[in-house]
Amino acid sequence: ILSLDEINTKIAAIFSEKEMPISFNAEYSALLGNVEHALTLLQSLVDGEDVIPIGRYYAYFDSPAFLLLDEDKRFLELKKRYQRKLDLLNSSLMWRL
């Protein structure tokens, strides 16, 4: 098990040459207990044009990193708004066989 300092050092090394994605940064901030920063980053995700890439077995806002935020009304509202955004994008997909 690594200490928080060791984890921070490894994360800094990984992202020393490229920018940390907002989605990862939001989860990381939430894990560190920096709720306000995590919510600010989540707000930018919800307001932005991008969507979080698929590649996990759970929806992004259901990440274990956000367990501390699960009771926060601001987080729940952002989660609801993001889901509406995904629903709208998915409804406009055209499938071709």
To the question of pTM greater than 0.85 for the whole model, the response is no
DSSP secondary structure of the chain: ---HHHHHHHHHHHTSSSPPPHHHHHHHHHHTT-HHHHHHHHHHHHHSS--PPP-SSS-GGG-GGGGGGTT-HHHHHHHHHHHHHHHHHHHT-----
Per-residue pLDDT tens digits of the chain, which is 97 residues long: 778 788 778 877 777 778 888 888 999 999 989 999 999 999 999 998 877 766 666 788 999 999 999 999 999 999 999 988 888 887 777 665 5
Token pair 């077995």 in the structure block, residue: 57
State the pLDDT at residue 96: 58
